[in-house]
Each structure stands twice: as C-alpha cells, then as structure tokens.
Chain A
Amino acid sequence: MKIFKKIVINFVFYASPLVLICYLFLGLVETRITTSFSSLEFWACLPILIWTPVTFFLTISMFFSRKLRNTVLARLSGMKERDEREVQIAGNALKSTYLTTVTLLLFLLFVSLFYIHIGKKPISGIEPDEPPIEIGLKLQFHLIDANTVITQKQGFDKYFEMNDLPISSSTLILILLLWQIFSYRHVSRRSFKLSETDIDC
C-alpha cells in the first residue's frame, strides 16, 4: 500500500506538466471523441484520462489519511520539519501566510459586497443646482448566487463601476490556492536562506 501511494503521488506530481501541455494542445485543436488510436488527439487525451481520475482519487484519499495529506501537501508547499528550527520557520511562514490570506479574503469580500458606480450625467438632464457627477454605492450580499442584474441608468457616461468579482469561482479558488502555496514558500525560503549561506564545514 505504501509503494502504491508513493507511485500515485509521484505520478500526479511528475505527470502534471505533461497533462498541462496536453490540455493546451487540446485547447488549440478541435476536441472530439475519437476511437482512432493513430490520431494525435487520442494520445494527447490519454495522459489526461489517466491523470484526472488518479488525482481525484488522491484528493479524496487526502481527506481520510492524515499521513498522506501531510506528505502531499508538504511536498507541494516545500514544507520541511526535520528539526526544531525548521518547525519554527514553518510556524512563522504559516502565520504569515494565514495573515496575508485573511487580508486577501477581506479585500475580495469588499469587492464582492459593494457596488460602486461613478458616472457623469448627460448635460441635458442636469438641473441647475445639481452636480454633474453621480456617485453610487450599494451593499449587496447574496447567500446564493442568483445572477443579479443591476439595471444601468440610461444616458450616463460611466467613469467607474465595480460590481461583484469579475472572476469565476474556479479562478478564485486557484488564486487562493496559489497564494497560499507561494506565500508559504516565499516566507520559509527567505528564512532558510539565512542559514543556507556561509557554509562552514
């Protein structure tokens, strides 16, 4: 079982660049289901067909096995805890990552909660004592994404408008994941760098 898990982890890690290339290739050509073994699309699809269920299996297994979770995520984030100093560095890096992630989440929450609009009114529609620029601010919170449509006022020149996050949920998840990994790696690498230089044996 131990060897099997090792093979699965190595396969997921080392095959991922190939899978990415295959995805890019399939994105460039017209994708269609084919039974022809000689076609290039079939051979480009093959790594994806194997990699995707294996990765899914690994992800599900990580929920149940703490050891597997630690192994995979430590490898992904470059986490080393071989002695007390490395444990301390890992703790500091995790603290830094946690705080920057909370900051990022707060920013994203702010962007998704508020609707801000700055627009210039048409000259014909301005009353004598009325300012020509209108600033709109609205708080919006939806428990379920209901594709809310904010009706735009007619005749306004839009200077600035911010309404919900302009990115998809998968992009948001990817950003948060990459942020966590790179933030941790950056902080821990900076701490490790201090002692890795000036080697005296």
Chain B
Amino acid sequence: MVNIGSQFKIKNNINALRTQKKMTQQALADAVSVTRATINAMEKGAYNPSLELAFRLARFFEVDIQSIFFVEDSDEDI
C-alpha cells in the first residue's frame, strides 16, 4: 500500500522486458510511436509516461501495467 505522506518513485521494467524481447530502443520506440530518447529516458527513470503510453507499452509487451510500472516506497518524508 502506498503511503501518500511519503516520497515515492515510480520505477519500471521496460529495460528488462525489452531485453527479453531482444529489441533495440529504436525498435521499441517505433512500436509504441515515441522517440528513442523517450524510451531511454523511461528506462533511466528520468521520465514517467502518460497513462496512454503506459497502456501502449503494456499492450505491446502483453503484460499488465503493474508488471511494467511499480512504486518504490521511500522512508524519507517530504
């Protein structure tokens, strides 16, 4: 359960799923209609995608959204 009072970071498994499919960032980017830089930013955790892109990724990898994106709780208070 997410503690709203705490800082949390959204992480993802895009890199792992992409490696599993033996795809390049460019191929994945083309598949979900974004730029390669956006895939790179998401893999590095520098960008959180919109709900629409999250669904597109989930549909492409044929998994649930929760399997790709998950919240990492932090004990640090805001």
Contacts and interface: CB of A to CB of B under 8 A. Distances in A.
A, B bound? yes
Interface of A: 82-86, 88, 192, 194-196, 198-201
Given A82-B35, A84-B49, A200 B41 contact: no
A84 B53 contact: yes
B71 to A, nearest CB: 20
Interface centre among A85, A194, A199 (most CB of B within 10 A): A85
B44 A198 contact: yes
B41 A195 contact: yes
Interface string B42-78: 0110110110110000000000000000000000000
Given A195-B40, A198-B44, A200-B43, A85 B35 contact: yes
B3 interface: no
Interface of B: 15, 24-26, 33-38, 40-41, 43-44, 46-47, 49-50, 52-53
Contacts of A82: 34-35
**What is the predominant secondary structure among interface residues of chain A facing chain B?**
helix
Contact of B38 (A85, A198, A199, A200): A85
Given A200-B25, A201-B24, A201-B25, A85 B47 contact: yes
B40 A83 contact: no
Given A200-B25, A201-B25, A83 B33 contact: yes
Contacts of B46: 194-195
A200 B40 contact: yes
Contact of B34 (A85, A192, A200): A85
A201 B26 contact: yes
Contacts of A192: 37
A195 to B, nearest CB: 4
Interface centre among B24, B35, B43, B49 (most CB of A within 10 A): B35
